Amino acid sequence: MDYYKLVRDTLKLKPEAQRQLYEHFAQQMLGVCFRYTKSISDAEDILQEGFVKVFKHLHQYNFEGELGAWIRKIMVNTALNYLKKNKRYRYDLSFEELVLHPVSADDPEVKLQAKELTELIRQLPTGFQTIFNLHAVEGYSHVEIAAMLGITDGTSRSQYARARALLIEWIEKFSLEIKPENYARK
């Protein structure tokens, strides 16, 4: 796909170009939005709001870097703003400064499908889920996450460590539940 022409035509307000841009990126960006929410309905709201911002600010895209990455950044920021202003998530997005117990560096020896791991991440409390996604999935540093969420980088690190520890615990439990001997006939 010729992104340069697509962006140019979209900026000229050509409906076909706008539709193509939306259709090309919508499914992928819905997945991004869904990682930060607890329902597909909320993710769809974020997606729509995010694309409004994409179209409004498309003139700022300078063709440095991938268009999809630029749109993804807008979607992530839109998701974070949604979490902050939505009453249902706002209270779940509080971050406490507590001392953590050390987390084992050993990863459980279990192979999960991406869909199963994604579902486990979605079951994390909203604050853990948000920071885990920002750091482990999107690749933001803890300093960047702190700036985005208005917290300290230490809080970001501790919330990430807690999320990781909880996921490890769940994965270990999951691996015990699916062992073949658990399904053997007696």
The 10s digit of each residue's pLDDT in 36-59 is 988 899 999 999 999 999 999 999
d(CA 162, CA 132): 9
For residue 113, give every residue at least 6 positions away whose Cβ sits within 8 Å of its Cβ, in sequence order, or none. Answer: none
H or E element that contains 62: none
Q: Could you say which of 89, 123, 149 is where a domain stops? A: 89
The CATH number covering residue 81 comes to: 1.10.1740.10
In terms of domains, do 50 and 122 share one? no
Q: Which residue has the tokens 């991406």?
A: 114
Indicate if the alpha-carbon torsion angle 71, 147, 126, 48 is positive or negative: negative
In terms of domains, do 103 and 82 share one? no
Is pLDDT at 25 greater than 90 in this prediction? Answer: yes
